[in-house]
Chain A
Amino acid sequence: MKRLTLSAAVASALLISAVPTALAQEDSELDIGRFAIAGYGDVSYIDQDGMNNNVESRFVPIFLFQLSEKIHIESELEFSIDENGETEVEMEYADLHYFLNDNTTITAGKFLLPFGQFGPNLHPSWINKLPSGPGLYGHGGNGSLVPLVPVMSDTGVNLRNSFKLGAGKLFTDFYVVSGPREEEEEEIGIDDPEEGGHGSIPEVGFEAGKGDNNSDKAFGGRVAYAFLPSIEIGYSFYNGAYSDDATLDYKATALDFNWIGTFASIRGEIIDTSTDFLDEDDGEIDVFDRSGWYIQGSWQMRQLDKDILNPFELVLRYSEINDALEGERWTVGVNYWLESSAVLKLAYEDTELEDGDTDNRLFIQLAFGF
């Protein structure tokens, strides 16, 4: 019996070695490549009070390698010009996908965290229908709003699955990553200590070049259900220690939704965060909560069936951050699509902060995907 089992195992192992042959689409008409470059870029003019350098430019290539049909490698670099005119280079992600089976993928390396929708999928400028961010994520473009979620990508491992479930599809991601860290020099002041309870909160950030600052790993995930092509609803969570001694945690949850129609779309996210901090008075650990949400609608004017209006799209977004460092933002934009992946955007943004300050910006942006 033992020998039979062993034989079966060996036979199965031999069979599995034949799997790559079947995967290679032998006798199919598909050409198999090894390398491709995709990516995006943009040039933006921003009219804002007190802003001297009002032209920004980015080039963000994505390098894709197909090592085999089970292993895929991707890396995105962002080249941009800083306020002094110097070239900045940042690695957004560099990871390896291992396709374990038809439904499951293991990703290892530095990857975009599957938290909400904007961070992992919508932030590239040719995909983001407005030239600025909603203000909730820390990836630039937020103006005077202090983002809720500082981490966009991190190093670690992610397990991704996709299943049919009932009439829709279930998507799951679970990951373990290095986690956030405190940006020591950049505590954020609160104008009203009575309301916030204390004079300042730490800014939690992530700098890939610095590595992890404690032995604790952060973990998180996203579970989503989709009735494709129209509706997707997702729930995300993230939990990680950010202080050097791993006693202070940063936690975040998000609820995201998408509705996609033939001519229109509505999408939004609701995010709650809690950040531990050490009370300067009694030495106890307290929790500092912040929350926010945004909703964005877009409408393609091709619905009017007038050739001259076909490339135009109207976009409206409202963002709000509550509980501390509050602010709200209206953004309205008109897009002219030069190609399906090249767009000229004109947008106006009105941001009001809790202290009464306003931050109004006018954008003209040319964004392209390639």
Chain B
Amino acid sequence: MKLTKLSILTIIMTIGSFSAIGQHASDPTLIAKGARLYSENCGRCHNPRPASDYSKKEWSVVMPHMREKAHMTGQESLAVEAFLASTLTADVRNDMKSGSSGAEQRSGKTLITQFGCQGCHQINGEGGNLGPTLDGVVENKGREFILKKLKDPKFNNTASAMPQFPMSEADMEMLINYMSKN
């Protein structure tokens, strides 16, 4: 009897530990969480690898390996995978049409949230510290620099881990407009 109760408890606990994993991978909050976890965990041992190093399918196999290395939970690993999948991974990096072509215009704030910018950068004093703060960055570096960085994150730093994001030039301009107000 005790064994049965113990078995039930174990089963319920096991199910409970997985129940939250069903969160949709395109959920912006999951992507933002993944960006933060990517910033917090990958740089503990090595330069964070840009999403373009592997395809989405490869990341899905690499992430369980890194889950163990970094002591991440399953949910955390899934969030990082969702963040990486939201950027231009190796299988889609040369296909800018996979961005927002045809999609309705998104606001700068929406883009910031959608692509998890604050996972690595601080905005209004809040966010990660893997990359430099974005407060005042447009004023300091200029619009052209930011636009170039969004199009080709490695143009001024070959080791940059910043991913390319699937966004149109109009999206980038909107993002720069938003950042220029901060």
| A5 partner residues in chain B, CB cutoff 8 A | 1, 4-5, 8
Nearest chain A CB to B141's CB is how many angstroms away?
9
| Contact between chains at B26 and A29 (CB < 8 Å) | yes
**Which of A34, A261, A341: most chain B CB closer than 10 A?**
A341
Given contacts A19-B18, A126-B46, A228-B41, contact A30 B65 (CB under 8 A): no
| Contact between chains at A9 and B159 (CB < 8 Å) | no
| Contact between chains at A32 and B40 (CB < 8 Å) | no
Partner of A171, one of B67, B71, B160: B71
- Give A246-273 as 1s and 0s: 1 = Cβ < 8 Å from B's Cβ atoms: 0000000000001011100000000000
Interface hits, A49-69 → B, CB 8 Å: 62, 64-66
Nearest chain A CB to B15's CB is how many angstroms away?
6
Nearest chain B CB to A356's CB is how many angstroms away?
37
* Residue A97 is within 8 A (CB to CB) of chain B in the complex: yes
B: interface residue count bin? 35 or more
Docked Cα-Cα span, A283 to B146, in Å, equals 74
* Residue A349 is within 8 A (CB to CB) of chain B in the complex: no
- Give A301-313 as 1s and 0s: 1 = Cβ < 8 Å from B's Cβ atoms: 0100001001100
* Residue B131 is within 8 A (CB to CB) of chain A in the complex: yes
Interface window among B50-58, B101-109, B110-118, B170-178: B50-58
Docked Cα-Cα span, A256 to B128, in Å, equals 24
A-B contact count (CB 8 A): 178
| B40 partner residues in chain A, CB cutoff 8 A | 228-229
| A302 partner residues in chain B, CB cutoff 8 A | 157
| Contact between chains at B14 and A72 (CB < 8 Å) | no
A36-B54, A260-B43, A311-B159 known, 5 other contacts, Cβ within 8 Å: A22-B22, A72-B64, A310-B159, A337-B158, A340-B49
Closest 5 CB pairs of A and B: A33-B57, A337-B159, A101-B17, A28-B25, A229-B40
Chain B residues in the interface with A (C-beta under 8 A): 1, 4-5, 7-8, 11-15, 17-22, 24-26, 39-41, 43-50, 53-62, 64-65, 67-69, 71-75, 78, 81-82, 85, 128-132, 156-161
Q: What are 18 residue pairs bridging A and B, where the CB atoms are less than 8 Å apart in the complex?
A: A9-B4, A9-B7, A29-B25, A32-B60, A36-B57, A36-B58, A66-B61, A72-B61, A72-B68, A97-B68, A99-B74, A102-B74, A103-B74, A105-B68, A117-B45, A340-B47, A340-B48, A340-B159
